[in-house]
Amino acid sequence: MNPTGYYINGKSLTNLSLGCMRFPSVESAIETISAGVESGVVYLDTSPAYLYRSEEENCETWVGEGIKGYRKQIILSAKSAVGGWGQESGYNPAKGYSITTADQVYKQIDQSLTRLQTDYLDCYHLWAVHTPETFDEALKPGGWVEGALKAKDDGLFISLGITGHAGSEEIIRWINSELFDVITIPFNILDNSRIPAIKHAYEKSIPVLAMNPLAGGLLASSSSVLSSELDELGVESAYDMALRYCTSFPGVSALSGMTSKDEVNENVRVINKPTWTELQAKSVKEVLFSLLGSSQYICTTCKYCLPCPQGIWIPEVLKLRNYFSVLKMDSARKLYLSRSKNDDRFRAQNCVKCGACESRCPNGLPVSTLMEEVSEVF
């Protein structure tokens, strides 16, 4: 597997890393970690909240079982959040939410060490930093960063990281604080908004873990349209395109949530292909976006149409519509259906054809007709 050129705690970070948030069982964790490490995966991302069922059954305890025999080879990372992760409020050490004081974060790291059955972490992340306010909260005297740095001084972990869905400008602020040795941010071929931050990280010699490289699973399925268009560029599938695009950026490791030996083997097979040059990656991206742009109805996701009085998240719904109707990706339909179960913003059938969005859309899109199409076709 290709190295990123970076080392964390003296261990070479390779360009495929393992997200440990999806294992269905401890057996799956053990199988996946073993297959990954044997194939050259080094970095493992965990959190106290992932897969949480009880103090004994959670991501950290399962990974603790999976890394037995591999501890010295791997870069083991854990994390905790200053905020409530958008789901729960109040101090919740079991899941690592709302960890706001220096004392709390120190105890939190200790808890991760116990669950992971280790006496040090290679990396510890400030988690879910989605807004400047969250970052400021972590920096306050007696707060998260102060506690983490004390734990680092005491040898509980080696490298400090930060992760969240902030935009490029804010991520550059994280990097310029010079507090962090590694960053973990969303990045995939369909969302290039954080490229300035990735380039800045590279200039500052900070490794980047790219979370969501398959765009929430969207790029995990095949697209016959894409494959035939990209054949001459050596792209065999949307999945191939997504993983290799991420890792064509120097210093980036694709953080993929794998759950079995087969998934590891498939990811490794793809990632072991020759790394694209910047020019190759650009060509692939151009083909993808020209295909999307060939749609009769191009939503530029400018958001001028919002808010919809029915609460529909119009740009996101139209984005999935285009992936399905233009690229023939069934994963887009599945993603829409799974989101619409729990999230009213993905219910196109709630459109009452009021026309408010259409009068604001600079591209003149017949949004209400497209919403009807989505609710019928999907």
The residue within the footprint of ligand SF4, chosen from 151, 197, 235, 308 (CB under 6 A), is: 308
The residue within the footprint of ligand SF4, chosen from 18, 270, 299, 332 (CB under 6 A), is: 299
The residue within the footprint of ligand SF4, chosen from 1, 21, 179, 356 (CB under 6 A), is: 356
Q: Which of residues 333-352 bind ligand SF4 (CB under 6 A)?
A: 351-352
The residue within the footprint of ligand SF4, chosen from 302, 330, 338, 344 (CB under 6 A), is: 302
C-beta of 304: minimal distance to ligand SF4 in Å? 4
Q: Exposed e or buried b for every residue in 55-71, given b needs 16+ CB within 10 A? A: eeebbbbbbbebbeebe
C-beta of 176: minimal distance to ligand SF4 in Å? 32
Q: Is 318 in the site for ligand SF4 (CB under 6 A)?
A: yes
DSSP 209-252: EEE-TTTTTGGGS--HHHHHHHGGGT--SHHHHHHHHHTTSTTE
280: left (phi over 0), alpha (psi -120 to 50) or beta: alpha
Neighbours of 285 (CB within 10 A): 16
Our CB check for ligand SF4 shows the closer of 289 and 304 to be 304
C-beta of 353: minimal distance to ligand SF4 in Å? 5
Tell me the sheet residues that pair with 80.
126
Stretch that binds ligand SF4, among 53-61, 82-90, 132-140, 365-373 (CB under 6 A): 365-373
Q: Is 357 in the site for ligand SF4 (CB under 6 A)?
A: yes
Q: Is 374 in the site for ligand SF4 (CB under 6 A)?
A: no
Our CB check for ligand SF4 shows the closer of 112 and 322 to be 322
Q: Between helices 144-153 and 102-116, what is the axis angle to 10°?
A: 50
Q: Provide the strand spans (E) within the chain.
A: 3-8, 11-14, 16-19, 43-45, 75-81, 121-127, 157-163, 182-186, 208-211, 252-257
Q: Is 294 in the site for ligand SF4 (CB under 6 A)?
A: no
Binding mask 219-238 for ligand SF4 (x = CB under 6 A): --------------------
Q: Is 361 in the site for ligand SF4 (CB under 6 A)?
A: yes
Q: Is 369 in the site for ligand SF4 (CB under 6 A)?
A: no
Pairing label, strands 11-14, 43-45: unpaired
Our CB check for ligand SF4 shows the closer of 179 and 361 to be 361
C-beta of 69: minimal distance to ligand SF4 in Å? 51
Q: Is 368 in the site for ligand SF4 (CB under 6 A)?
A: yes
In angstroms, the CA 254 to CA 270 distance is 12
In angstroms, the CA 69 to CA 213 distance is 29
Please give the span between the terminal C-alpha atoms of the chain, in angstroms, as a whole number. 39
Q: Is 355 in the site for ligand SF4 (CB under 6 A)?
A: yes
C-beta of 91: minimal distance to ligand SF4 in Å? 39
C-beta of 188: minimal distance to ligand SF4 in Å? 20
Q: What separation in angstroms does the CA of 253 have from each of 15, 202, 239, 282, 317?
A: 4, 12, 15, 18, 29
In angstroms, the CA 260 to CA 169 distance is 36
Our CB check for ligand SF4 shows the closer of 85 and 313 to be 313
Pairing label, strands 3-8, 11-14: antiparallel
Half-sphere exposure at residue 182, Cβ-oriented, CA atoms within 13 angstroms: 32
C-beta of 349: minimal distance to ligand SF4 in Å? 10
C-beta of 319: minimal distance to ligand SF4 in Å? 9
Binding site residues, ligand SF4, CB under 6 A? 299-305, 308-310, 312, 314-315, 318, 351-357, 360-361, 363, 365, 367-368, 371
